A and B are shown apart, each in its own frame.
Chain A
Amino acid sequence: MAVHYSKVLPVAKSNSDMRKRTPEPSRRGADEKSATGVLDRDSVAVANTGELRKEQQQVKADQKGRIATLDKETLVNIYHQMVLVRRFEEKSAEVYSAGKIGGFCHLYIGQEAVAIGSISAIRKDDYVLTSYREHAHAIAKGMTPESVMAELFGKATGCSKGKGGSMHMFDKEVNFLGGHAIVGGQIALATGVAFASKYKGTDQVTLCYFGEAAVNQGAFHESLNMAQLWKLPCIYICENNQYGMGTSLQRAMSSHDISEKACAYDIASEFVDGMDVLAVREATLRAVERARQNYLPTLLEVRTYRFMGHSMSDPGNYRTRAEIERHQERDPIKLFATSLKEEGVMADKEFEDIEAQVREQVEKSLRFAEESPLPDTAELYTNVYANPIEPGKR
């Protein structure tokens, strides 16, 4: 049977509706389970290549349908952004290994469709908050690769003046409200940003990203409850890459259906294929409309996969090479490129041009970071308080 990538759960109108929807343990029956090994919702079974190929065809067909609805400029921009953040991360890995980036470095490779697809669906004055795996979101929201790379290098020209690092990127100019490094912490913050939009009467929406492991934190549940209780324009995007560091979803969550958890808070939710950039965009557009028009929150569970380790220091012994390769078959960039090519949106030359432009963008960011100065040592004691008080001064 066909896999349902997009499942809109309308907000239940009454308690009886809720009750009908709640205990459905048989909903994911054996037939549904066997639909695909890759998107298998309950086990890490070995993929059936025949099924996999069939499913690939379906995704492509869906994506082509979506391509037909968009203009070339939008499509090319989305593709360009995806390639940019992929090459940016590859370069980050390279220079991290060379010892130029300190601390932790969490790469986004494999998940590009999520940040790029969803941020392509919002306005410049909308807000984005995310976790510590945030280089791509920062660039997608409009920060320059230079300011992000310089921050990774801990330089004064970095987006956080070198005081934040890989996990704490911020840019007030583009309403990128950070990289937050306590799992789930940003979920409550984003709820507050959305609260402020409603309080001020603006129609700005807030996108809040987090991994599936954050769903086990209290902050997730507390926030979703408040968001629906007070009707806040926050879009919660769970990037389900199936591993919280080295612990698989199956080993950490009693109920694996994250989008279904929205029922507990009466929030609209969707399950989205996070390897299809346009599917992510469309689901986000629906959520944005709900938020902008009616101040309503949405939970999107976007199924994706990270091709690299949790961080640069991850030995990766908790999953097999075969499993990673199976997911790489569905590389969101390759998938999108194929669709764009087959639909005649872009020709070979245009793909090559984008690669060349991106290479130059990334190299430029690297040069900028390398040539930038370290923070002045006087910066150690600045920005602790916005209003520093000299004690005893009346």
Chain B
Amino acid sequence: MAVMTIREALNQALREEMLRDESVFLMGEEVAEYQGAYKVTKGLLQELGPKRVIDTPITELGFAGLGVGAAMVGLRPVIEFMTWNFSILATDQIINSAAKMLYMSGGQFNIPMVFRGPGGSAFQVGSQHSQALESWYAYFPGLKVVMPSTPADAKGLLKSAIRDDDPVIFIEQERMYGNKGEVPDDPDFIVPLGVADIKREGTDATIVARSLTVPIALKAAEQLEKQGISCEVIDPRTIRPLDIGTIIESVKKTNRVVVAEESHPFCGVGAEISLQITERAFDYLDAPVKRVSGADVPMPYAKNLEDLAIPNVDQIVAAVREVAYM
């Protein structure tokens, strides 16, 4: 096991998969000469060359569509959005082309590609650069949506995503690139898509968290442990397809659930998870499912306001105490 950052783990995954399969290429803004706006692609141009690692003009719709076209004829593009905020310009190609191509061609053209980049909030970058878009993409059948929260998951999931035969939306968290953790040395290590991970076992309440809220939930669980509440923290890791089975099993054990997410609450993934819990495990619930979400506002710039807009440990602790009637 080596200790590395999420940034380094992603870099390793890209490098290994590109060495493994010549049909994989990496394209995006500043991925090559600049070594990546967030240095995730550092060194790849030098090792793999300009044919495989390609800087694009600032033309998100264009290079997203180019990637889909290349995938139609057998390449496996990894398209980097400098941030997922910019993917909004490319949604036509992601949704109308990538997600639907296999279906509307009657099964003839699958799209084996990955759209990846940082999403969610960063540090005081304002409304247009701080958005969690997973519920948008998870809405569409045809897309798979992945959000890692640890270096090991980041590496293993990205490798699975690149090997997958469908379009995968891979959302990294901008604030978490420097987070460190252990990553298995085995070059064949992968994390399968569609499998949730129990990040902490517990008996009294379940916290379903993803991406940024996973480490926050783990801290909250530590505090709650001291207050006599044992929390189980579940990270779905893949938003679509969602491993609801693992969540339901936990709920049947704890009978209390908090869903923690940095995205807006309305029509969010947390809303979907909450509903699925009530559909499948209503009789096991001792309290209504509680959500802790990002504030329902565009992201403010001011530090104090930004802090208020992102879920924190105290909010999760309070929510768990609420479902535990404490």
Asked whether any CB of chain A lies closer than 8 Å to the CB of B313, the reply is: no
Contacts of A187 in B (CB 8 A): 65
Within 8 A of A (CB), among B226-261: 238, 241-246
Closest to B65 in A: A188
Query: Is A356 an interface residue when CB atoms closer than 8 A count as contact?
Result: no
Interface stretch (choices B69-77, B120-128, B278-286): B69-77
Most buried by A among B25, B75, B104, B246: B104
Stretch of A40-48, A49-57, A74-82, A161-169 that contacts chain B: A161-169
Residues of A within 8 A of B96 (CB): 180-182, 185
Given that A160-B108, A384-B141 are contacting pairs, would A192 and B165 also be in contact in the complex, using a CB cutoff of 8 Å?
no
* Docked complex Cα distance between A219 and B66 (Å): 10
B14 smallest CB distance to A (angstroms): 17
- Chain B positions within 8 Å of A394 at CB level: 192, 195
A383–B59 contact, CB under 8 A? no
Least CB separation from B52: chain A residue: A199
Chain B residues with CB below 8 A from A170, complex form: 104-106, 108-109
Which of chain B's residues have a CB closer than 8 A to the CB of A390?
Answer: 194, 241
Q: Enumerate chain B residues within 8 angstroms of A159, measured Cβ to Cβ.
A: 106
Inter-chain contact B61/A218, CB cutoff 8 Å: yes
Residue of B nearest to A390 (CB): B194
Residues A382 and B107 in contact, CB atoms below 8 Å apart:
yes
Q: Which residues of B contact A200 (CB under 8 A)?
A: 74-75
* Among B97, B245, B246, contact of A180 (Cβ-Cβ < 8 Å): B97
Determine if B57 is an interface residue (Cβ-Cβ < 8 Å). Answer: yes
- A225 near B193 with CB under 8 A, answer no
Interfacial chain B residues near A199, Cβ < 8 Å: 25, 51, 70, 75
Bound CA–CA A188/B96 (angstroms):
12
- Contact status B69-A191, CB under 8 Å: yes
Interface pair A188/B142, CB less than 8 Å apart: no
Given the contacts A160-B105, A163-B106, A386 and B69 also touching, CB distance less than 8 Å: no
Residues of A within 8 A of B54 (CB): 230
Interface status of A190 (Cβ within 8 A of chain B): yes
CB–CB A182/B69 < 8 A? no
The answer to whether A383 and B102 have CB atoms under 8 Å apart is yes
Contacts of B196 in A (CB 8 A): 392
- What is the CA–CA distance of A168 and B103 in the complex, to the nearest angstrom? 10
| A196 contacts partner chain B, Cβ-Cβ < 8 Å | yes
Chain A, residue nearest B141 (CB) = A384
A79 to B49, CA, bound (A): 48
Residues from chain A with a CB closer than 8 A to the CB of B164 are 387
Whether B69 contacts A196 by the Cβ 8 Å rule is: yes
A207 CB to nearest B CB, Å: 13
Q: Which residues of A200-256 are within 8 A (CB) of B? A: 200, 218-219, 222-223, 225-226, 229-230
Closest-CB distance, B251 to chain A (whole angstroms): 14
Q: Which of A2-10, A85-93, A171-179, A309-317 is found at the contact surface with chain B?
A: A171-179
Cβ of B93 < 8 Å from any Cβ of A?
A: yes
Whether B166 and A386, one on each chain, are in contact in the complex, defined by CB atoms closer than 8 angstroms, is yes
B interface bracket (residues with beta carbon within 8 Å of A): 35 or more
Classify chain A's interface size. 35 or more
Give the contacting residue for B93; candidates A172, A185, A384, A385; CB below 8 A.
A185
Q: Does B322 contact A (CB under 8 A)?
A: no
Which residues of chain B have C-beta atoms less than 8 A from A185's C-beta?
A: 65, 92-93, 96-97
Determine how close the nearest CB of chain B comes to the CB of A182; give it in whole angstroms: 5
B-side contacts of A127, CB under 8 Å: 73
Type the 1/0 row for A125-162, where 1 means its CB is closer than 8 Å to any CB of B: 00101000000000000000000000000000011111
Q: Are B195 and A392 in contact (CB under 8 A)?
A: yes
Distance A178 CA – B69 CA, assembled complex (angstroms): 11
Which residues from chain A contact B70 at a C-beta distance below 8 Å? 192-193, 195-196, 199
Name the B residues within 8 Å of A163 (CB-CB).
103-106
List B153-203 residues whose CB lies under 8 Å from chain A: 164-166, 192-196
| Interface status of A68 (Cβ within 8 A of chain B) | no
How far, in angstroms, from A390 to B196 measured CA to CA in the complex? 12
Instruction: Kindly provide the distance from the CB of B108 to the nearest chain A CB, expressed in whole angstroms.
Output: 4
Q: Are A188 and B109 in contact (CB under 8 A)?
A: no
| Residues in B neighbouring A182, C-beta threshold 8 A | 92, 96
Q: Does B110 contact A (CB under 8 A)?
A: yes
Instruction: Kindly identify which residue among A158, A191, A393 contacts B106, using a CB–CB cutoff of 8 Å.
Output: A158
Chain A residue with Cβ nearest B143: A385
Interface flags for A83-118 (1: CB within 8 Å of B; 0: not) read 000000000000000000000000000000000000
Question: B64 within 8 Å of A by Cβ?
Answer: yes
CB contacts (< 8 Å) of A181 on chain B: these are 96
Cα distance, A329 to B106, chains bound together (Å): 40
Q: Is the CB of A385 within 8 A of B72?
A: no
| A210 to B18 CA separation, bound complex (whole angstroms) | 34
Query: Do residues B242 and A188 form an inter-chain contact, with CB atoms below 8 A?
Result: no
Q: Which residue of B lies closest to A194 (CB)?
A: B69
User: In whole angstroms, how far apart are the Cα atoms of A129 and B105 in the complex?
Assistant: 13
B195 and A226 within 8 A (CB): no
Minimum distance in angstroms from A142 CB to a CB of chain B: 15
Seen from chain A, the residues whose Cβ lies within 8 Å of a Cβ on chain B are: 127, 129, 158-164, 168, 170-172, 177-178, 180-182, 185, 187-197, 199-200, 218-219, 222-223, 225-226, 229-230, 382-387, 389-394
Pairs across A and B, CB under 8 Å, 16 listed: A160-B108, A164-B105, A170-B109, A180-B96, A185-B93, A189-B65, A192-B65, A195-B69, A219-B62, A222-B61, A225-B57, A230-B54, A387-B165, A390-B241, A391-B194, A391-B242
